[in-house]
């Protein structure tokens, strides 16, 4: 296995979309075309599945040095109200473009730190969203919470607004690791938040853990997971640390690559986690996720109904994802858009009554086919092209690229289908790369993505 890790641990996308953002065709993107397709997507899906909404809340009081998210560091909470008003103005632009009343299937509050915002301001935000929409009775609502500032008031407010899922950014319980990543949050702090969440009525608690962080060791990982098991979250996201200082700048330059676990060490941390999760009753779901039986991701995976979009793995199969807030990405099924990343620029453009979009991509027929195949591989570890409308030249080219992975025992290609083997699951990003026609037609001149493993 270690020989395979050395061989395949190359820069690779995480495939929350196809094409990936660096390969969007921005030159041919047309905002008016996108608006027409947005309206078309809304009327096709709203009464069937409803829509999903991702709201990016980018503010944090401190910089976590490992973080790859778009964030704005400040201790000035006066930024809250103007930002919320901008998000609501952007939502009003979407509602006007839909020419119909949205039915909301899913909302996720991401960051940054959503719990940077006061419970009162979160109420203003969400009631403003609900005012112009119908919240479906079985809507799935979740938010990302920082253990250091998620108060009982936050939990009660969001519960009253329909939220039942909270994702807590744990990362690691080792004090040395917490110090170097500037994320000090002792076990007792996390335990208190989990206790409050369960008492409030939250039925789905997720922990985010990261392997490959600076100064991590197998002993420290064992201790972290032992502590996690005392709290027994319903779901665990076990992410590979993406060391991309050329993109994320000053934060990830606080330490050097010498502080990071090497390829083999890093993979052993993952394998250790995987063994311990299984020992404690968790099942591996898709890529990087583990869940207890009864968790909605577990159920969806068992039924073959797992879905993946810009929010990651989800059980909601909506074809229209609206991204609100600075840097948010939206997907209307026909194309993608991304908002202004800087808060000031975002607020200025929304304030002038325009969509704050800075880039986009309209999917062509080949994109649609490959998007489906890559999504199926990421969600179910297999895909097929038995029907004529799932075939194209790019699929044939992808099969040729899979030959070496097949020789290494990572996939099986039979009867117009490819199945990822158990041995191949850790290499799912490499396998999806085989079908990434846009990447192969223009290989990057510099490193765009984090390492695959």
Would you say residue 275 has pLDDT above 50? yes
Binned at pLDDT 50, 70 and 90, residue 391 comes out as confident
pLDDT at 447: 64
Tell me if 111 is assigned to a ligand binding site. Answer: yes
Q: How far is CA 425 from CA 121, 243, 261, 404, 431, in A?
A: 42, 22, 21, 15, 9
Tell me if 176 is assigned to a ligand binding site. Answer: no
**190 vs 442: which has the higher pLDDT:** 190
Phi and psi at residue 181, in whole multiples of 5°? Answer: -95, 5
Last residue of a domain, one of 317, 342, 361: 361
Q: How far apart are CA 333 and CA 38, in angstroms?
A: 8
Residues 325 and 427 in one domain: no
Q: Which domain holds residue 406?
A: 365-441
Tell me if 94 is assigned to a ligand binding site. Answer: no
Tell me if 398 is assigned to a ligand binding site. Answer: no
State mean pLDDT over 288-310. Answer: 92
pLDDT at 67: 86
Phi and psi at residue 101, in whole multiples of 5°? Answer: -90, 120
User: How many domains does the chain fold into?
Assistant: 2
Which of 8-12, 68-72, 315-319, 346-350: highest mean pLDDT?
Answer: 346-350
Residues 181 and 48 in one domain: yes
Last residue of a domain, one of 361, 378, 404: 361
Tell me if 403 is assigned to a ligand binding site. Answer: no
Instruction: Read off the pTM.
Output: 0.94
Q: State the CATH number of the domain containing residue 407.
A: 1.10.10.920
- pLDDT (tens digit per residue) in 253-266: 567 788 888 878 88
Q: State the CATH number of the domain containing residue 58.
A: 3.80.30.20
Tell me if 249 is assigned to a ligand binding site. Answer: no
**Which pair of tokens denotes residue 110?**
């991401």
Would you say residue 247 has pLDDT above 60? no
Q: How far apart are CA 102 and CA 132, in angstroms?
A: 7
Would you say residue 412 has pLDDT above 70? yes
Residues 259 and 376 in one domain: no
Binned at pLDDT 50, 70 and 90, residue 317 comes out as confident
Would you say residue 452 has pLDDT above 80? no
Tell me if 282 is assigned to a ligand binding site. Answer: no
Q: How far is CA 292 from CA 145, 221, 351, 364, 442, in A?
A: 21, 20, 45, 39, 41
Among residues of the chain, what percentage have pLDDT more than 70? 96
pLDDT at 246: 47
pLDDT at 6: 80
pLDDT at 255: 75
Tell me if 239 is assigned to a ligand binding site. Answer: no
Tell me if 60 is assigned to a ligand binding site. Answer: yes
Q: Give Rg (Cα) of the chain.
A: 21
- Whether 446 maps to a domain, the answer reads no
Average pLDDT, the chain: 92
Helical residues (DSSP H) of 233-361, grouped into ranges: 245-248, 263-279, 296-303, 343-351
Q: How far apart are CA 180 and CA 220, in angstroms?
A: 14
Q: Which residues of 25-49 are buried (b: 16+ CB within 10 A; e: fewer)?
A: beeebeeeebbebbeebbeebbeeb
- Whether 7 maps to a domain, the answer reads no
Tell me if 69 is assigned to a ligand binding site. Answer: no
Contact, 181 vs 171, CB < 8 A? yes
Beta-bridge partners for 210: 239
Binned at pLDDT 50, 70 and 90, residue 445 comes out as low
Residues 287 and 401 in one domain: no
Q: How far apart are CA 25 and CA 19, in angstroms?
A: 9
State mean pLDDT over 395-423. Answer: 94
Tell me if 160 is assigned to a ligand binding site. Answer: no
Tell me if 208 is assigned to a ligand binding site. Answer: yes
- Whether 30 maps to a domain, the answer reads yes
Angle at 370 between CA 364 and CA 376, to 5 degrees: 140
pLDDT at 69: 85
Tell me if 346 is assigned to a ligand binding site. Answer: no
Residues 77 and 147 in one domain: yes
pLDDT at 207: 98
Beta-bridge partners for 166: 143, 205
Tell me if 379 is assigned to a ligand binding site. Answer: no
Chain centre to alpha carbon of residue 302? 21
Residues 309 and 406 in one domain: no
Tell me if 242 is assigned to a ligand binding site. Answer: yes
Last residue of a domain, one of 334, 361, 388: 361
State mean pLDDT over 92-114. Answer: 96
Beta-bridge partners for 54: 108, 323
Residues 329 and 262 in one domain: yes
- Whether 412 maps to a domain, the answer reads yes
């Amino acid at each position: 296995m270690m020989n395979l890790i050395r061989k395949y641990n190359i820069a690779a996308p995480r495939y929350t979309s196809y094409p990936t953002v660096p390969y969007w065709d921005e030159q041919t993107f047309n905002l008016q075309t996108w608006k027409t397709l947005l309206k078309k997507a809304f009327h096709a899906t709203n009464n069937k599945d409803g829509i999903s909404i991702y709201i990016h809340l980018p503010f944090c009081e401190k910089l976590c040095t490992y973080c790859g998210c778009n964030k704005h560091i400040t201790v000035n909470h006066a930024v809250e109200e103007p930002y919320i008003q901008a998000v609501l103005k952007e939502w009003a632009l979407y509602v006007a473009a839909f020419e119909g009343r949205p039915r909301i299937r899913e909302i996720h509050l991401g960051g940054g730190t959503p719990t940077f915002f006061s419970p009162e301001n979160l109420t203003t935000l969400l009631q403003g969203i609900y005012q112009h929409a119908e919240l479906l009775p079985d809507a799935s609502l979740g938010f990302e919470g920082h253990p250091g500032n998620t108060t009982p008031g936050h939990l009660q407010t969001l519960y009253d607004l329909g939220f039942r899922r909270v994702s807590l950014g744990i990362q690691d319980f080792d004090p040395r690791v917490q110090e170097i990543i500037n994320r000090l949050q002792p076990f007792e702090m996390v335990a208190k938040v989990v206790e409050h969440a369960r008492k409030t009525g939250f039925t789905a608690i997720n922990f985010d853990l990261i392997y490959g962080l600076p100064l991590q060791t197998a002993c420290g990982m064992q201790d972290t997971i032992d502590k996690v098991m005392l709290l027994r979250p319903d779901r665990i996201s076990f992410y590979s640390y993406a060391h991309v200082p050329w993109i994320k700048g000053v934060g990830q330059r606080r330490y050097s690559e010498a502080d990071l676990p090497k390829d083999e060490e890093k993979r052993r941390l993952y394998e250790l986690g995987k063994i311990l999760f299984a020992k404690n009753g968790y099942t591996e779901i898709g890529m990087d996720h583990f869940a207890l039986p009864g968790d909605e991701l577990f159920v969806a995976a068992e039924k073959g109904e797992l879905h993946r979009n810009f929010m990651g793995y989800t059980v909601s199969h909506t074809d229209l994802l609206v991204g609100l807030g600075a840097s948010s990405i939206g997907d209307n099924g026909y194309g993608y858009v991304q908002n202004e990343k800087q808060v000031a620029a975002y607020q200025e453009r929304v304030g002038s009554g325009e969509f704050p979009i800075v880039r986009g991509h309209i999917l062509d027929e080949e994109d649609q086919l490959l998007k489906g195949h890559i999504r199926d591989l990421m969600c179910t570890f297999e895909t097929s092209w038995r029907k004529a409308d799932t075939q194209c030249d790019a699929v044939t080219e992808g099969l040729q690229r899979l030959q070496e992975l097949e020789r290494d025992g990572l996939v099986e290609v039979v009867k117009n289908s490819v199945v990822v083997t158990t041995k191949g699951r850790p290499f799912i990003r490499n396998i999806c790369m085989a079908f990434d026609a846009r990447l192969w037609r223009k290989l990057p001149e510099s490193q765009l993505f984090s390492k695959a493993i």
